[in-house]
Amino acid sequence: MKRLVFKVGTATLYENGKLSKRIDNIVKLLSELNKDYEIILVSSGAVGAGYTKCPLDKSKLENKQALAAIGQPLLMKEYKKRFHNFDTTVAQVLLTAADLDSRKRTQYAKKMINVLLDNNVIPIINENDSVSVEEILFGDNDQLSAYVTYYFGADMLIMLSDIDAFYTDNPKINKNAKPIKIVKEIKDEWIKQECDPNDRFATGGIVTKLKAAKFLMERGIPMYLTNGKNLDSVKEILNNNQINGTLFLPKEGR
Ligand code: ADP
């Protein structure tokens, strides 16, 4: 059975500081796909969820970490409630980058993930933001989701973003920017661009997505970037190989 990792960004989950209805559609899609695929979800949004209860000043790192600690159980509650409607069991897995650094720890984590997947449980993974500082500062789980895809032996990473594709330029600034359907090589100048987080919760931006794609392409794994609002696009790529977002395709598959 194919193993898929989905990454959902804060900008997809939250709208104007509130949890968006999009989470309902994402849960429905993943529950459906869970019949034919092994599904792992990497979800951001803990800081955003915490902020809805306790609007601390997010410019301070310790406040952001506290918000993640407040928000993580709230976010899990929202997921659990919705997945329950589809008789789908979920598990919370909090990782730090170091867990995937050493071979031994990676193996332990992978074995545990395999147990969950063998039992039809969807792991919902997040960076352990309240104790780690790197990802919370920069990345919004893009890097973590690439690591999860590679180290846990998945076949593809599907990033559900607030943007529907990778463009020739930032489409929010340049109206002439064109979407690129297939990317076979990540150019150095693309990942040297400055990150431009467009949301006060989101810290990712396109650069961290390109870095994630590069990491996976070098290891023979494809990544698909599409909009978290248009989930038909996910079905179309999986069922018909039809590309409505951007497919980052390695030269040689595994
Ligand atoms: P998410 O929260 O879904 O992870 P981000 O908001 O962090 O996503 O990153 C996507 C954003 O990156 C887009 O909304 C867009 O404003 C910005 N961006 C900058 N350059 C590009 C580009 N060349 N193609 C697509 N998006 C770009």
Residue-wise pLDDT tens digits, 187-220: 988 887 655 454 444 344 788 899 999 999 999 9
Mean pLDDT of the chain: 90
Q: 32: which 2 tokens?
A: 């459906």
Pocket test for ligand 1, best of 20, 22, 140, 170 (most atoms within 8 A of CB): 170
Does residue 45 lie within any of the structural domains? yes
Pocket test for ligand 1, best of 186, 206, 210 (most atoms within 8 A of CB): 206
Does residue 52 lie within any of the structural domains? yes
Nearest CA to ligand 1 atom 21: 170
Please identify, by atom number, the ligand 1 atom nearest to the C-alpha of residue 173: 16
Give 235 Cα–ligand 1 centroid separation in angstroms.
22
Nearest CA to ligand 1 atom 10: 205
Q: Looking up tokens 């973003």, which residue turns up?
A: 161
Residue-wise pLDDT tens digits, 71-109: 999 999 999 999 999 999 999 999 987 778 778 889 999
Q: Which residues line ligand 1 (CB under 6 A)?
A: 9-12, 140, 161-163, 166-167, 169-172, 196-199, 202, 204-206
Does residue 254 lie within any of the structural domains? no
* Lowest pLDDT segment from 12-21, 71-80, 236-245: 12-21
State the total domains in the chain. 1
Does residue 132 lie within any of the structural domains? yes
Give 173 Cα–ligand 1 centroid separation in angstroms.
11
Pocket test for ligand 1, best of 20, 138, 162, 183 (most atoms within 8 A of CB): 162
Radius of gyration of the chain measured on its C-alpha atoms: 17
Please identify, by atom number, the ligand 1 atom nearest to the C-alpha of residue 161: 3
Q: What are phi and psi of 90, to 5 degrees?
A: -120, 160
16 pLDDT band, cuts 50/70/90, is confident
Please identify, by atom number, the ligand 1 atom nearest to the C-alpha of residue 179: 24
Residue-wise pLDDT tens digits, 28-78: 999 999 999 999 999 999 999 999 999 999 889 899 999 999 999 999 999
130 pLDDT band, cuts 50/70/90, is confident
Q: Which domain holds residue 84?
A: 3-248
178 pLDDT band, cuts 50/70/90, is very high
pLDDT for res 180:
97
Give 162 Cα–ligand 1 centroid separation in angstroms.
7
The CATH number that applies at residue 72 is: 3.40.1160.10
Does residue 114 lie within any of the structural domains? yes
Pairwise CA distance, residues 139 & 174, whole Å: 23
Pocket test for ligand 1, best of 198, 201, 211, 225 (most atoms within 8 A of CB): 198
Pairwise CA distance, residues 84 & 230, whole Å: 23
Per the model's pLDDT, the better-predicted residue between 97 and 221 turns out to be 221
Can you point out the beta strands (E) in the chain? 3-8, 14-15, 18-19, 38-43, 90-95, 122-127, 156-161, 166-167, 179-180, 182-183, 223-227, 246-248
Does residue 47 lie within any of the structural domains? yes
Does residue 62 lie within any of the structural domains? yes
Please identify, by atom number, the ligand 1 atom nearest to the C-alpha of residue 169: 23
Does residue 253 lie within any of the structural domains? no
